[in-house]
A and B are shown apart, each in its own frame.
Chain A
Amino acid sequence: MQSRKKGSLILLLLPASLIIGVIFLLPFIFLLVQSFWTYESSFVSKPVFTLANYAKIFQDTYYLQVYLRTIKLSLISTGITLLLSYPLARFISRLKTGLKGFMLTLIALPMIGGAMIQTMGWMAMMMRYGMLNGILMGLGLAKEPVAFLGSELGIVIGLVQSFIPLMVLPLVTSLGAIDVTLEDAAKSLGANSLRTFFEVVLPLSLPGAAAGTILTLMMNLTMFVTPSILGQNKIMVFGTIAYQQAISVGNWPFASAFAIFFIMAVFIFAMLAMKVTSAIQKSTKQPKAAAKGAQA
Protein backbone atom coordinates (compact mmCIF):
# COMPACT_ATOMS: atom_id res chain seq x y z
CA MET A 1 0.00 0.00 0.00
CA GLN A 2 2.78 2.38 1.02
CA SER A 3 4.80 1.78 -2.14
CA ARG A 4 1.66 2.06 -4.28
CA LYS A 5 1.03 5.42 -2.74
CA LYS A 6 4.59 6.44 -3.46
CA GLY A 7 4.22 5.25 -7.03
CA SER A 8 1.11 7.31 -7.65
CA LEU A 9 2.74 10.35 -6.05
CA ILE A 10 5.66 10.11 -8.45
CA LEU A 11 3.30 9.63 -11.36
CA LEU A 12 1.26 12.70 -10.43
CA LEU A 13 4.33 14.89 -10.07
CA LEU A 14 6.26 13.58 -13.06
CA PRO A 15 4.87 15.68 -15.96
CA ALA A 16 5.16 18.98 -14.11
CA SER A 17 8.64 18.09 -12.81
CA LEU A 18 9.80 17.28 -16.32
CA ILE A 19 8.51 20.56 -17.74
CA ILE A 20 9.93 22.68 -14.93
CA GLY A 21 13.19 20.72 -14.67
CA VAL A 22 14.03 20.42 -18.35
CA ILE A 23 12.44 23.48 -19.95
CA PHE A 24 12.74 25.91 -17.05
CA LEU A 25 15.72 25.03 -14.82
CA LEU A 26 18.10 23.41 -17.30
CA PRO A 27 18.38 26.54 -19.53
CA PHE A 28 19.89 28.45 -16.58
CA ILE A 29 22.80 26.00 -16.64
CA PHE A 30 23.21 26.62 -20.36
CA LEU A 31 23.23 30.33 -19.63
CA LEU A 32 25.94 29.96 -16.99
CA VAL A 33 28.14 27.72 -19.15
CA GLN A 34 27.75 29.88 -22.25
CA SER A 35 28.87 32.96 -20.31
CA PHE A 36 32.37 31.42 -20.10
CA TRP A 37 32.58 30.40 -23.75
CA THR A 38 34.44 32.20 -26.48
CA TYR A 39 32.50 34.25 -29.03
CA GLU A 40 33.56 33.65 -32.63
CA SER A 41 31.02 35.29 -34.89
CA SER A 42 27.30 35.94 -34.97
CA PHE A 43 25.47 32.99 -33.35
CA VAL A 44 28.73 31.00 -33.24
CA SER A 45 30.72 30.39 -30.08
CA LYS A 46 33.22 27.72 -29.18
CA PRO A 47 33.59 25.86 -25.89
CA VAL A 48 36.86 27.44 -24.85
CA PHE A 49 36.94 28.88 -21.35
CA THR A 50 37.28 32.65 -21.12
CA LEU A 51 36.51 35.49 -18.74
CA ALA A 52 36.44 37.97 -21.62
CA ASN A 53 32.63 38.22 -21.59
CA TYR A 54 32.62 39.39 -18.00
CA ALA A 55 35.60 41.63 -18.61
CA LYS A 56 33.72 43.27 -21.48
CA ILE A 57 31.08 44.56 -19.04
CA PHE A 58 33.77 46.65 -17.36
CA GLN A 59 35.75 47.58 -20.47
CA ASP A 60 34.10 50.94 -20.77
CA THR A 61 31.36 52.60 -18.77
CA TYR A 62 28.58 51.97 -21.32
CA TYR A 63 27.26 48.71 -19.89
CA LEU A 64 27.66 49.87 -16.32
CA GLN A 65 25.64 52.95 -17.20
CA VAL A 66 22.95 50.70 -18.64
CA TYR A 67 22.82 48.74 -15.36
CA LEU A 68 22.67 51.93 -13.32
CA ARG A 69 19.95 53.45 -15.50
CA THR A 70 17.93 50.23 -15.21
CA ILE A 71 18.26 50.24 -11.43
CA LYS A 72 17.40 53.94 -11.20
CA LEU A 73 14.28 53.65 -13.39
CA SER A 74 13.21 50.48 -11.54
CA LEU A 75 13.51 52.05 -8.11
CA ILE A 76 11.59 55.15 -9.19
CA SER A 77 8.85 53.09 -10.86
CA THR A 78 8.55 50.64 -7.98
CA GLY A 79 8.37 53.48 -5.44
CA ILE A 80 5.61 55.28 -7.33
CA THR A 81 3.78 51.98 -7.91
CA LEU A 82 3.81 51.26 -4.17
CA LEU A 83 2.59 54.75 -3.29
CA LEU A 84 -0.28 54.64 -5.77
CA SER A 85 -1.25 51.04 -4.99
CA TYR A 86 -1.62 51.41 -1.23
CA PRO A 87 -4.72 53.63 -1.16
CA LEU A 88 -6.34 51.69 -3.99
CA ALA A 89 -5.67 48.36 -2.27
CA ARG A 90 -7.01 49.76 0.99
CA PHE A 91 -10.18 50.89 -0.78
CA ILE A 92 -10.70 47.54 -2.54
CA SER A 93 -9.97 45.46 0.58
CA ARG A 94 -12.88 47.10 2.42
CA LEU A 95 -15.47 46.53 -0.35
CA LYS A 96 -18.25 43.95 -0.17
CA THR A 97 -17.42 40.58 -1.77
CA GLY A 98 -19.22 41.06 -5.09
CA LEU A 99 -17.93 44.55 -5.76
CA LYS A 100 -14.47 43.54 -4.55
CA GLY A 101 -14.34 40.71 -7.09
CA PHE A 102 -15.44 43.05 -9.84
CA MET A 103 -12.74 45.60 -8.93
CA LEU A 104 -10.05 42.90 -8.73
CA THR A 105 -11.11 41.65 -12.15
CA LEU A 106 -10.75 45.16 -13.58
CA ILE A 107 -7.37 45.66 -11.89
CA ALA A 108 -6.07 42.35 -13.23
CA LEU A 109 -6.98 43.21 -16.84
CA PRO A 110 -3.56 44.70 -17.70
CA MET A 111 -1.88 41.55 -16.36
CA ILE A 112 -3.98 39.35 -18.61
CA GLY A 113 -3.76 41.74 -21.54
CA GLY A 114 0.01 41.46 -21.54
CA ALA A 115 2.85 43.91 -22.06
CA MET A 116 2.27 44.41 -25.78
CA ILE A 117 -1.28 45.65 -25.44
CA GLN A 118 -0.43 48.05 -22.60
CA THR A 119 2.54 49.43 -24.48
CA MET A 120 0.53 49.95 -27.67
CA GLY A 121 -2.10 51.88 -25.72
CA TRP A 122 0.58 54.08 -24.18
CA MET A 123 2.24 54.65 -27.51
CA ALA A 124 -1.04 55.87 -28.99
CA MET A 125 -1.58 58.11 -25.96
CA MET A 126 1.96 59.49 -25.98
CA MET A 127 2.02 60.46 -29.65
CA ARG A 128 2.65 64.11 -30.49
CA TYR A 129 -1.06 64.80 -30.92
CA GLY A 130 -2.23 61.88 -28.82
CA MET A 131 -4.45 61.84 -25.78
CA LEU A 132 -1.88 62.87 -23.14
CA ASN A 133 -0.77 65.94 -25.05
CA GLY A 134 -4.37 66.65 -26.03
CA ILE A 135 -5.37 66.77 -22.36
CA LEU A 136 -2.26 68.70 -21.23
CA MET A 137 -2.65 71.36 -23.89
CA GLY A 138 -6.42 71.46 -23.54
CA LEU A 139 -6.04 72.25 -19.84
CA GLY A 140 -3.34 74.78 -20.64
CA LEU A 141 -0.73 72.79 -18.69
CA ALA A 142 1.58 72.61 -21.71
CA LYS A 143 2.03 75.04 -24.57
CA GLU A 144 3.75 72.60 -26.88
CA PRO A 145 3.39 68.82 -27.18
CA VAL A 146 5.58 67.02 -24.64
CA ALA A 147 7.91 64.37 -26.10
CA PHE A 148 6.90 61.41 -23.92
CA LEU A 149 8.15 58.84 -26.41
CA GLY A 150 11.86 58.27 -26.21
CA SER A 151 12.07 59.76 -22.71
CA GLU A 152 12.62 58.24 -19.29
CA LEU A 153 9.37 59.87 -18.18
CA GLY A 154 7.41 57.90 -20.78
CA ILE A 155 9.01 54.63 -19.70
CA VAL A 156 8.30 55.26 -16.01
CA ILE A 157 4.64 56.08 -16.74
CA GLY A 158 4.27 52.86 -18.74
CA LEU A 159 6.01 50.75 -16.10
CA VAL A 160 4.00 52.14 -13.18
CA GLN A 161 0.72 51.44 -14.95
CA SER A 162 1.77 47.90 -15.98
CA PHE A 163 2.82 46.82 -12.51
CA ILE A 164 0.15 48.39 -10.27
CA PRO A 165 -1.87 45.12 -10.57
CA LEU A 166 1.11 43.07 -9.35
CA MET A 167 1.38 45.34 -6.31
CA VAL A 168 -2.34 45.70 -5.59
CA LEU A 169 -3.20 41.98 -5.50
CA PRO A 170 -0.90 40.94 -2.61
CA LEU A 171 -1.69 44.20 -0.81
CA VAL A 172 -5.44 43.56 -0.99
CA THR A 173 -4.87 40.08 0.43
CA SER A 174 -2.88 41.30 3.42
CA LEU A 175 -5.00 44.41 4.02
CA GLY A 176 -8.17 42.33 3.78
CA ALA A 177 -6.87 39.97 6.46
CA ILE A 178 -6.66 42.77 9.04
CA ASP A 179 -9.39 42.53 11.63
CA VAL A 180 -11.61 45.62 11.38
CA THR A 181 -12.14 45.57 15.14
CA LEU A 182 -8.43 46.30 15.58
CA GLU A 183 -8.83 49.60 13.77
CA ASP A 184 -12.03 50.38 15.68
CA ALA A 185 -10.20 49.67 18.91
CA ALA A 186 -7.39 52.05 18.00
CA LYS A 187 -9.92 54.73 17.04
CA SER A 188 -12.03 54.29 20.17
CA LEU A 189 -8.85 54.80 22.17
CA GLY A 190 -8.55 58.19 20.54
CA ALA A 191 -6.22 57.58 17.58
CA ASN A 192 -7.25 59.53 14.47
CA SER A 193 -7.45 57.72 11.15
CA LEU A 194 -3.97 58.83 10.11
CA ARG A 195 -2.45 57.47 13.29
CA THR A 196 -4.53 54.30 13.04
CA PHE A 197 -3.23 53.81 9.53
CA PHE A 198 0.43 54.29 10.41
CA GLU A 199 0.41 52.38 13.67
CA VAL A 200 -2.05 49.57 13.03
CA VAL A 201 -2.82 49.07 9.34
CA LEU A 202 0.60 49.75 7.84
CA PRO A 203 2.63 47.38 10.06
CA LEU A 204 0.10 44.58 9.60
CA SER A 205 0.12 44.94 5.82
CA LEU A 206 3.91 44.91 5.48
CA PRO A 207 4.15 41.27 4.36
CA GLY A 208 1.88 41.97 1.39
CA ALA A 209 3.71 45.20 0.62
CA ALA A 210 7.05 43.40 0.74
CA ALA A 211 5.84 40.61 -1.55
CA GLY A 212 4.41 43.11 -4.03
CA THR A 213 7.48 45.33 -3.92
CA ILE A 214 9.96 42.53 -4.52
CA LEU A 215 7.92 41.14 -7.41
CA THR A 216 7.42 44.57 -8.98
CA LEU A 217 11.08 45.42 -8.59
CA MET A 218 12.10 42.17 -10.29
CA MET A 219 9.75 42.87 -13.18
CA ASN A 220 10.97 46.46 -13.51
CA LEU A 221 14.63 45.45 -13.46
CA THR A 222 14.12 42.99 -16.31
CA MET A 223 11.58 45.06 -18.27
CA PHE A 224 11.93 44.72 -21.98
CA VAL A 225 8.87 45.59 -24.07
CA THR A 226 8.01 48.89 -22.37
CA PRO A 227 11.49 50.48 -22.65
CA SER A 228 11.97 49.02 -26.10
CA ILE A 229 8.79 50.58 -27.52
CA LEU A 230 8.29 53.68 -25.35
CA GLY A 231 12.04 54.36 -25.14
CA GLN A 232 12.28 54.19 -28.94
CA ASN A 233 15.79 52.71 -28.70
CA LYS A 234 17.01 56.00 -27.26
CA ILE A 235 17.03 54.78 -23.69
CA MET A 236 18.74 51.44 -23.36
CA VAL A 237 18.18 49.31 -20.27
CA PHE A 238 19.23 45.81 -19.25
CA GLY A 239 16.38 44.07 -21.10
CA THR A 240 16.83 45.90 -24.38
CA ILE A 241 20.60 45.30 -24.42
CA ALA A 242 20.12 41.62 -23.59
CA TYR A 243 17.63 41.26 -26.45
CA GLN A 244 19.85 43.17 -28.84
CA GLN A 245 22.94 41.07 -27.98
CA ALA A 246 21.06 37.77 -28.11
CA ILE A 247 18.75 38.25 -31.08
CA SER A 248 20.21 40.99 -33.30
CA VAL A 249 23.97 40.71 -32.67
CA GLY A 250 23.95 37.00 -31.86
CA ASN A 251 26.65 37.25 -29.21
CA TRP A 252 25.26 34.65 -26.83
CA PRO A 253 28.34 34.43 -24.58
CA PHE A 254 28.26 38.15 -23.83
CA ALA A 255 24.46 38.27 -23.52
CA SER A 256 24.74 35.44 -20.97
CA ALA A 257 27.50 37.08 -18.94
CA PHE A 258 25.63 40.39 -19.05
CA ALA A 259 22.51 38.69 -17.68
CA ILE A 260 24.26 36.57 -15.04
CA PHE A 261 26.18 39.49 -13.63
CA PHE A 262 22.96 41.49 -13.39
CA ILE A 263 20.84 38.74 -11.83
CA MET A 264 23.54 38.17 -9.21
CA ALA A 265 23.47 41.86 -8.34
CA VAL A 266 19.66 41.75 -8.23
CA PHE A 267 19.64 38.76 -5.90
CA ILE A 268 22.05 40.36 -3.47
CA PHE A 269 19.85 43.45 -3.62
CA ALA A 270 16.70 41.39 -2.95
CA MET A 271 18.33 39.62 0.00
CA LEU A 272 19.26 42.96 1.51
CA ALA A 273 15.74 44.27 0.95
CA MET A 274 14.25 41.23 2.69
CA LYS A 275 16.64 41.67 5.62
CA VAL A 276 15.62 45.29 5.96
CA THR A 277 11.88 44.51 5.83
CA SER A 278 12.14 41.81 8.46
CA ALA A 279 14.10 44.21 10.66
CA ILE A 280 11.38 46.84 10.24
CA GLN A 281 8.72 44.26 11.00
CA LYS A 282 10.45 43.28 14.22
CA SER A 283 10.69 46.87 15.36
CA THR A 284 6.99 47.53 14.63
CA LYS A 285 5.61 44.48 16.43
CA GLN A 286 4.80 46.54 19.50
CA PRO A 287 1.84 48.60 18.21
CA LYS A 288 0.19 45.37 17.08
CA ALA A 289 0.47 43.92 20.57
CA ALA A 290 -0.76 47.19 22.05
CA ALA A 291 -3.80 47.23 19.79
CA LYS A 292 -4.52 43.59 20.62
CA GLY A 293 -4.32 44.44 24.31
CA ALA A 294 -6.70 47.35 23.80
CA GLN A 295 -9.14 45.08 22.02
CA ALA A 296 -9.18 42.66 24.93
Chain B
Amino acid sequence: MEKLNRILLIIFSILILIFVLSPIFVLIISSFNESRYFEFPPTGFTFEWYKAFYKSEEYQKALLISLRVALTAAGIGLLAGVPAAFALDRYKFKGNAVMQSIFLSPLMLPQIIWALGLIQFFSIVQIGGRSILGSFAGIVLAHSVIILPYVIRMVLTSLKYVEVDLESAAMSLGAKPIRTFLEVTIPIILPGVLVSAVFGFMVSFTDVVVSSFVAGTRYITFPVRMYSEIRTEGLDPLAVTVSAFVVIFIVIIAMIGERTAKWSRFF
Protein backbone atom coordinates (compact mmCIF):
# COMPACT_ATOMS: atom_id res chain seq x y z
CA MET B 1 0.00 0.00 0.00
CA GLU B 2 2.72 2.45 1.06
CA LYS B 3 4.79 1.46 -1.94
CA LEU B 4 1.88 1.73 -4.35
CA ASN B 5 1.16 5.27 -3.09
CA ARG B 6 4.74 6.22 -3.65
CA ILE B 7 4.80 4.83 -7.21
CA LEU B 8 1.54 6.61 -8.04
CA LEU B 9 2.97 9.87 -6.71
CA ILE B 10 6.09 9.47 -8.86
CA ILE B 11 4.09 8.70 -12.02
CA PHE B 12 1.71 11.61 -11.39
CA SER B 13 4.62 14.00 -10.76
CA ILE B 14 6.38 12.99 -13.95
CA LEU B 15 3.17 13.50 -15.96
CA ILE B 16 2.72 16.99 -14.49
CA LEU B 17 6.34 17.81 -15.21
CA ILE B 18 5.88 16.75 -18.84
CA PHE B 19 2.73 18.89 -19.01
CA VAL B 20 4.57 21.93 -17.62
CA LEU B 21 7.46 21.54 -20.03
CA SER B 22 5.37 20.52 -23.06
CA PRO B 23 5.32 23.96 -24.77
CA ILE B 24 9.11 24.05 -24.60
CA PHE B 25 9.46 20.52 -26.05
CA VAL B 26 6.99 21.31 -28.78
CA LEU B 27 8.75 24.51 -29.82
CA ILE B 28 12.04 22.65 -30.15
CA ILE B 29 10.45 19.72 -32.05
CA SER B 30 8.51 22.09 -34.32
CA SER B 31 11.62 24.03 -35.24
CA PHE B 32 12.92 20.87 -36.97
CA ASN B 33 9.52 19.81 -38.35
CA GLU B 34 9.21 19.93 -42.12
CA SER B 35 5.46 20.59 -41.91
CA ARG B 36 4.35 24.21 -42.12
CA TYR B 37 1.24 23.37 -40.11
CA PHE B 38 2.88 21.86 -37.04
CA GLU B 39 1.55 18.41 -37.86
CA PHE B 40 2.12 15.71 -35.33
CA PRO B 41 3.84 13.29 -35.67
CA PRO B 42 6.35 15.48 -37.58
CA THR B 43 6.40 14.91 -41.32
CA GLY B 44 10.16 15.11 -41.63
CA PHE B 45 13.37 16.57 -40.26
CA THR B 46 14.71 19.85 -41.61
CA PHE B 47 17.16 22.68 -40.91
CA GLU B 48 15.20 24.88 -43.32
CA TRP B 49 13.76 27.14 -40.62
CA TYR B 50 17.09 27.70 -38.94
CA LYS B 51 18.54 28.68 -42.31
CA ALA B 52 15.67 31.14 -42.76
CA PHE B 53 16.35 32.52 -39.28
CA TYR B 54 20.02 32.97 -40.18
CA LYS B 55 18.96 35.09 -43.14
CA SER B 56 16.18 37.00 -41.39
CA GLU B 57 17.50 40.45 -40.54
CA GLU B 58 14.19 41.43 -39.00
CA TYR B 59 14.28 38.77 -36.29
CA GLN B 60 17.96 39.27 -35.63
CA LYS B 61 17.30 42.96 -35.17
CA ALA B 62 14.49 42.24 -32.70
CA LEU B 63 16.75 39.87 -30.76
CA LEU B 64 19.49 42.50 -30.66
CA ILE B 65 17.07 45.12 -29.32
CA SER B 66 15.94 42.67 -26.63
CA LEU B 67 19.56 41.95 -25.79
CA ARG B 68 20.41 45.65 -25.43
CA VAL B 69 17.32 46.35 -23.34
CA ALA B 70 17.86 43.34 -21.09
CA LEU B 71 21.57 44.03 -20.51
CA THR B 72 20.99 47.70 -19.67
CA ALA B 73 17.98 47.00 -17.46
CA ALA B 74 19.75 44.17 -15.63
CA GLY B 75 22.70 46.53 -15.05
CA ILE B 76 20.41 49.16 -13.53
CA GLY B 77 18.64 46.46 -11.52
CA LEU B 78 21.94 45.34 -10.02
CA LEU B 79 23.25 48.84 -9.31
CA ALA B 80 20.05 49.77 -7.49
CA GLY B 81 19.14 46.38 -6.05
CA VAL B 82 22.38 45.14 -4.46
CA PRO B 83 22.91 48.22 -2.24
CA ALA B 84 19.22 48.26 -1.30
CA ALA B 85 19.25 44.58 -0.31
CA PHE B 86 22.41 45.19 1.72
CA ALA B 87 20.82 48.11 3.55
CA LEU B 88 17.63 46.17 4.23
CA ASP B 89 19.58 43.23 5.63
CA ARG B 90 22.21 45.04 7.69
CA TYR B 91 20.57 48.19 9.01
CA LYS B 92 17.88 48.13 11.64
CA PHE B 93 15.67 51.12 11.03
CA LYS B 94 12.05 52.07 11.41
CA GLY B 95 10.01 51.00 8.42
CA ASN B 96 12.48 48.36 7.25
CA ALA B 97 9.80 45.71 6.79
CA VAL B 98 7.43 48.12 5.06
CA MET B 99 10.18 49.25 2.71
CA GLN B 100 11.06 45.66 1.91
CA SER B 101 7.49 44.81 0.95
CA ILE B 102 7.20 47.95 -1.17
CA PHE B 103 10.40 47.00 -3.01
CA LEU B 104 9.07 43.50 -3.62
CA SER B 105 5.54 44.63 -4.51
CA PRO B 106 6.08 44.61 -8.32
CA LEU B 107 6.20 40.81 -8.00
CA MET B 108 2.70 40.73 -6.54
CA LEU B 109 0.82 43.57 -8.21
CA PRO B 110 -0.55 42.90 -11.70
CA GLN B 111 1.83 44.15 -14.36
CA ILE B 112 -0.89 45.03 -16.83
CA ILE B 113 -2.55 47.52 -14.47
CA TRP B 114 0.74 49.18 -13.69
CA ALA B 115 1.57 49.27 -17.41
CA LEU B 116 -1.70 51.13 -18.04
CA GLY B 117 -0.63 53.85 -15.65
CA LEU B 118 2.95 53.78 -16.87
CA ILE B 119 2.07 54.70 -20.46
CA GLN B 120 0.11 57.67 -19.16
CA PHE B 121 3.02 58.80 -17.02
CA PHE B 122 5.59 58.23 -19.78
CA SER B 123 3.50 60.12 -22.31
CA ILE B 124 4.03 63.39 -20.43
CA VAL B 125 7.70 62.87 -19.51
CA GLN B 126 9.93 64.32 -22.18
CA ILE B 127 13.61 64.03 -22.85
CA GLY B 128 14.97 66.35 -25.52
CA GLY B 129 11.50 67.33 -26.71
CA ARG B 130 10.39 63.73 -27.26
CA SER B 131 8.09 61.70 -25.10
CA ILE B 132 9.86 58.91 -23.25
CA LEU B 133 7.02 56.57 -24.25
CA GLY B 134 8.34 54.23 -26.94
CA SER B 135 11.95 55.30 -26.38
CA PHE B 136 14.86 53.09 -25.40
CA ALA B 137 15.07 54.83 -22.01
CA GLY B 138 11.37 54.20 -21.41
CA ILE B 139 11.58 50.46 -22.04
CA VAL B 140 14.75 50.11 -19.99
CA LEU B 141 13.25 51.97 -17.02
CA ALA B 142 10.09 49.87 -17.17
CA HIS B 143 12.16 46.69 -17.30
CA SER B 144 14.35 47.76 -14.41
CA VAL B 145 11.18 47.80 -12.30
CA ILE B 146 10.43 44.16 -13.13
CA ILE B 147 14.04 43.14 -12.51
CA LEU B 148 14.65 45.05 -9.29
CA PRO B 149 12.47 42.97 -6.94
CA TYR B 150 14.11 39.75 -8.16
CA VAL B 151 17.56 41.20 -7.51
CA ILE B 152 16.58 42.44 -4.05
CA ARG B 153 14.94 39.15 -3.09
CA MET B 154 17.79 36.97 -4.32
CA VAL B 155 20.54 39.12 -2.83
CA LEU B 156 18.63 39.22 0.47
CA THR B 157 18.56 35.41 0.40
CA SER B 158 22.29 35.22 -0.27
CA LEU B 159 23.08 37.78 2.45
CA LYS B 160 21.42 35.43 4.92
CA TYR B 161 24.28 33.00 4.21
CA VAL B 162 26.93 35.55 5.25
CA GLU B 163 27.84 35.43 8.86
CA VAL B 164 27.94 38.87 10.37
CA ASP B 165 30.77 37.56 12.60
CA LEU B 166 33.03 37.32 9.57
CA GLU B 167 32.47 40.98 8.83
CA SER B 168 33.06 42.12 12.39
CA ALA B 169 36.19 39.95 12.51
CA ALA B 170 37.52 41.70 9.42
CA MET B 171 36.72 45.09 10.91
CA SER B 172 38.26 44.30 14.29
CA LEU B 173 41.44 43.39 12.40
CA GLY B 174 41.44 46.95 11.10
CA ALA B 175 39.66 46.66 7.77
CA LYS B 176 37.51 49.67 6.95
CA PRO B 177 33.78 49.03 6.28
CA ILE B 178 34.30 49.57 2.55
CA ARG B 179 37.18 47.11 2.42
CA THR B 180 35.23 44.61 4.50
CA PHE B 181 32.36 44.93 2.09
CA LEU B 182 34.53 44.48 -1.00
CA GLU B 183 36.75 41.69 0.32
CA VAL B 184 34.52 39.74 2.68
CA THR B 185 30.86 40.35 1.89
CA ILE B 186 30.95 40.63 -1.90
CA PRO B 187 32.77 37.32 -2.53
CA ILE B 188 30.25 35.45 -0.37
CA ILE B 189 27.15 36.98 -1.92
CA LEU B 190 28.58 36.89 -5.45
CA PRO B 191 26.70 33.73 -6.51
CA GLY B 192 23.41 35.30 -5.46
CA VAL B 193 24.24 38.54 -7.26
CA LEU B 194 25.20 36.68 -10.44
CA VAL B 195 22.09 34.50 -10.34
CA SER B 196 19.90 37.57 -9.84
CA ALA B 197 21.63 39.28 -12.77
CA VAL B 198 21.03 36.31 -15.06
CA PHE B 199 17.47 35.88 -13.81
CA GLY B 200 16.75 39.59 -14.23
CA PHE B 201 18.22 39.53 -17.71
CA MET B 202 15.93 36.63 -18.69
CA VAL B 203 12.84 38.23 -17.17
CA SER B 204 13.48 41.34 -19.24
CA PHE B 205 14.50 39.44 -22.36
CA THR B 206 11.27 37.43 -22.42
CA ASP B 207 8.82 40.06 -21.12
CA VAL B 208 5.86 40.70 -23.36
CA VAL B 209 3.18 42.28 -21.15
CA VAL B 210 4.98 45.45 -20.08
CA SER B 211 6.90 45.76 -23.35
CA SER B 212 3.82 45.55 -25.52
CA PHE B 213 2.43 48.56 -23.66
CA VAL B 214 5.50 50.78 -23.56
CA ALA B 215 7.12 49.73 -26.84
CA GLY B 216 6.45 52.21 -29.59
CA THR B 217 7.48 51.54 -33.16
CA ARG B 218 11.22 52.05 -32.88
CA TYR B 219 12.20 49.57 -30.20
CA ILE B 220 10.21 46.43 -30.79
CA THR B 221 11.67 43.67 -28.66
CA PHE B 222 11.64 40.07 -29.80
CA PRO B 223 8.63 38.89 -27.73
CA VAL B 224 6.59 41.92 -28.80
CA ARG B 225 7.43 41.25 -32.45
CA MET B 226 6.28 37.63 -31.96
CA TYR B 227 3.09 38.76 -30.26
CA SER B 228 2.02 41.23 -32.93
CA GLU B 229 2.96 38.85 -35.72
CA ILE B 230 1.02 35.92 -34.30
CA ARG B 231 -2.01 38.13 -33.75
CA THR B 232 -2.03 39.45 -37.29
CA GLU B 233 -0.66 36.56 -39.37
CA GLY B 234 -0.95 33.48 -37.18
CA LEU B 235 1.84 31.15 -36.21
CA ASP B 236 4.60 30.54 -38.72
CA PRO B 237 7.56 28.14 -38.52
CA LEU B 238 10.17 30.89 -38.64
CA ALA B 239 8.74 32.60 -35.54
CA VAL B 240 8.60 29.22 -33.80
CA THR B 241 12.22 28.54 -34.70
CA VAL B 242 13.42 31.87 -33.31
CA SER B 243 11.58 31.06 -30.07
CA ALA B 244 13.02 27.55 -30.03
CA PHE B 245 16.49 29.09 -30.38
CA VAL B 246 15.79 31.34 -27.38
CA VAL B 247 14.37 28.41 -25.39
CA ILE B 248 17.45 26.26 -26.03
CA PHE B 249 19.58 29.18 -24.86
CA ILE B 250 17.45 29.54 -21.70
CA VAL B 251 17.61 25.83 -20.89
CA ILE B 252 21.42 25.84 -21.24
CA ILE B 253 21.76 28.91 -18.99
CA ALA B 254 19.39 27.36 -16.42
CA MET B 255 21.41 24.14 -16.32
CA ILE B 256 24.70 26.00 -15.98
CA GLY B 257 23.14 28.19 -13.29
CA GLU B 258 22.00 25.17 -11.29
CA ARG B 259 25.27 23.26 -11.67
CA THR B 260 27.61 26.11 -10.84
CA ALA B 261 25.66 28.31 -8.44
CA LYS B 262 22.79 26.01 -7.32
CA TRP B 263 20.52 28.78 -8.42
CA SER B 264 17.27 27.10 -7.36
CA ARG B 265 18.01 27.96 -3.72
CA PHE B 266 17.47 31.64 -4.60
CA PHE B 267 13.97 31.16 -6.10
Interface residues of A (CB under 8 A from B): 5, 9, 11-13, 15-20, 23-31, 34, 84-85, 87-88, 90-92, 100-110, 112-125, 127-131, 133-135, 161, 164-165, 169, 192-193, 215, 218-219, 221-222, 224-225, 228-229, 233, 239, 242-243, 246-247, 252, 255-256, 259, 263
Contact among A87, A109, A112, A221 for B199, CB-based, below 8 A:
A112
Q: Tell me whether B120 and A27 are in contact (CB under 8 A).
A: yes
Bound Cα distance from A107 to B251, whole angstroms: 11
Contact among A24, A129, A247 for B106, CB-based, below 8 A:
A24
B116 at the interface (CB under 8 A from A): yes
Are A228 and B120 also in contact (CB < 8 A) when A13-B84, A15-B79, A90-B9 are? no
Contact among B12, B24, B87, B227 for A88, CB-based, below 8 A:
B12
Bound Cα distance from A5 to B92, whole angstroms: 11
In B83-134, which residues have CB < 8 Å from any A CB?
83-84, 86-88, 91, 93, 99, 102-103, 105-106, 108-114, 116-121
B209 at the interface (CB under 8 A from A): yes
Contact among A87, A90, A105 for B263, CB-based, below 8 A:
A105
Q: Tell me whether A169 and B199 are in contact (CB under 8 A).
A: no
Contact among A90, A108, A125, A215 for B267, CB-based, below 8 A:
A108
Q: Which 7 A-B pairs have the closest CB atoms?
A: A121-B23, A114-B206, A27-B117, A31-B117, A134-B40, A222-B110, A16-B84
Q: Tell me whether A27 and B118 are in contact (CB under 8 A).
A: yes
A15: chain B residues at CB < 8 Å are 79-80, 83-84
7 interchain pairs (CB within 8 A)? A12-B91, A15-B79, A27-B118, A101-B264, A108-B264, A117-B27, A225-B208
Q: Tell me whether A101 and B145 are in contact (CB under 8 A).
A: no
Q: Tell me whether B21 and A110 are in contact (CB under 8 A).
A: yes
A110: chain B residues at CB < 8 Å are 20-21, 23-24
Bound Cα distance from A134 to B41, whole angstroms: 7
Q: Tell me whether B16 and A164 are in contact (CB under 8 A).
A: yes
Contact among B10, B121, B240, B257 for A30, CB-based, below 8 A:
B121
Are A116 and B118 also in contact (CB < 8 A) when A88-B16, A125-B26 are? no
Q: Tell me whether B231 and A229 are in contact (CB under 8 A).
A: yes
Bound Cα distance from A192 to B114, whole angstroms: 48
Q: Tell me whether A20 and B103 are in contact (CB under 8 A).
A: yes
Q: Tell me whether B21 and A106 are in contact (CB under 8 A).
A: yes
A117: chain B residues at CB < 8 Å are 23-24, 27, 206, 223, 243, 246-247
Bound Cα distance from A22 to B107, whole angstroms: 17
B47: chain A residues at CB < 8 Å are none
Q: Tell me whether B199 and A115 are in contact (CB under 8 A).
A: no
Bound Cα distance from A165 to B40, whole angstroms: 27
Q: Tell me whether A101 and B206 are in contact (CB under 8 A).
A: no
Q: Tell me whether B17 and A242 are in contact (CB under 8 A).
A: no
Bound Cα distance from A5 to B87, whole angstroms: 11
Using CB atoms, name the residue of chain A closest to B119. Answer: A246
Bound Cα distance from A103 to B240, whole angstroms: 26
Bound Cα distance from A274 to B123, whole angstroms: 37
Q: Tell me whether A24 and B39 are in contact (CB under 8 A).
A: no
Q: Tell me whether B23 and A104 are in contact (CB under 8 A).
A: no
B12: chain A residues at CB < 8 Å are 87-88, 91
Using CB atoms, name the residue of chain A closest to B141. Answer: A23
Q: Tell me whether B40 and A19 are in contact (CB under 8 A).
A: no
Q: Tell me whether A31 and B116 are in contact (CB under 8 A).
A: yes
Q: How far is the CB of A112 from chain B (nearest CB, A)?
A: 5
In B169-207, which residues have CB < 8 Å from any A CB?
199, 202-203, 205-207
Contact among B38, B117, B207 for A127, CB-based, below 8 A:
B38
Contact among A17, A102, A129, A255 for B258, CB-based, below 8 A:
A102
A13, A112, A130: which has the most chain B beta carbons within 10 Å? A112
Q: Tell me whether B39 and A104 are in contact (CB under 8 A).
A: no
A108: chain B residues at CB < 8 Å are 254, 264, 267
B255 at the interface (CB under 8 A from A): yes
